[in-house]
Amino acid sequence: MSESPARARCVVCVASYFKGVEFMRECRRQGARVFLITRERALDADWPRESLEDILALPDDAGEDLFIHAIVHLARRHPVDRLVALEEFDVMTAALAREHLRLPGAHSTAARRFRDKLSMRVRASACGIRVPEFVHVLNSEAIAEFMSRVAPPWVLKPRSDVNAVGIRKLNEPEEVWRAIDTLDARPSLSEQSSYFLLERYVPGEVFHVDSLSEGGAVVFDGASRYGRPPMDVAHQGGIFTSHTVEYNSQEHKELTRLNRKLLRGLGLSHGAAHAEFIRSAEDGRLYFLEVAARVGGAYIAETLEAATGVNLWREWARIELACGHRGEQEERTLPRRDYGGIALSLARQEEPDTSHYTEGEIVYRVKKPYHVGLVVRSPELARVRALLEDYTRRFGEDFLAVAPPPERVPR
């Protein structure tokens, strides 16, 4: 009697925004059946429909319960093997759904360490990683004691928003108390002050480490430096840049060591992570800022691929599908050691024309309405930095638009 063919693995992707195209394509290429759950606002995006079994779009204001209900409904017809959040705002939703369906992967307690800025700081500090002094915006005496002990300025940060969204820089205790009163007047309980933290503002150079983990160990990482801190770009406008940190430098070694210690302490078993650190201009030490269990935004994946040849989305897909199937993963790509960089900004034009940017190092041109961006690659870090400096000036003349930062990101 012949054996029945093995059932194709089923991967459900959750993405409230347009993300992770190469992840879905790679899952399909590996023979998996791929389903996407998104929101109505993103339904018409350029999803890889040729790689998808189906797309389910929920209302833009759908909460976690409706997402979980949709995943349950899908699982009644298709046994789900992996459930993956491709977007930051869906990390907790996917974790709660995994708990409900008893699926493998991070459940809510583990996921919260990569979503809640307070939780990740507490855990990182307990692991011996240097963190700027902070206090939960909860107990009035603790807040007052913090402000008397830690010199201003301070930053008031939402515990769950991404990047610089909702962050305020404050200089006087009275500003802090007024800001807390304003938060507590919000009608939504989840946007009031207990969902914030207050932290010492640390000026300095900001770095990011983007990595992949498998079996609880980092199997790939890339260290990069932002041109200007993302918070400054978000609040003041201007050109966003990032480039590879020099290989074999002490800085590169220190960043990758800290990142591995961080992810081990936070318990990331497998998948992608984007961590940020700052080198204080005051004491020269590296401090942890935040981490997310996702691929970094702002075309960081494309920049890292330019430098190393490693596509984070595709490798993450292979890691997901290899869980429980250890003999089936393809041999991992050995990374190059070129240098990559990106210059990116909002543009006045809906479709900016970069055809007059003809440098041979350009390997990727951003195609997104009202955005302009170029990714470059070179074997020489100095050449990458020179190009980014040039593009910062030229983008300012040719394209730059400035928009006020959002107070909140729509879910």
In tens, the pLDDT along 7-57 reads 789 999 999 999 999 999 999 999 999 999 999 999 999 999 999 999 999
Once rounded to an integer, what is the mean pLDDT over residues 318-339?
76
Q: Residue 76 pLDDT more than 90?
A: yes
pLDDT band at 411 (very low <50, low <70, confident <90, very high): low
* Confidence at residue 197, expressed as pLDDT on a 0 to 100 scale: 97
Q: Is the pLDDT of residue 323 over 80?
A: no
Query: Which residues have a Cβ under 8 Å from the Cβ of 185 and sit 6 or more positions away?
Result: none
248: left (phi over 0), alpha (psi -120 to 50) or beta: left
Do the Cβ atoms of 154 and 147 come closer than 8 Å? yes
pLDDT surpasses 50 at 2: no
Question: Does the structure show a pLDDT above 50 at 98?
Answer: yes
Is residue 94 over pLDDT 50? Answer: yes
Structural domains present in the chain: 10-110 (3.40.50.20), 133-200 (3.30.1490.20), 204-398 (3.30.470.20)
Mean pLDDT over the full length of the chain: 92
Q: Is 278 a residue whose pLDDT tops 90?
A: yes
Distance between CA 210 and CA 244 in Å, rounded? 11
pLDDT above 60: residue 1: no
For residues 134-150, average pLDDT: 98
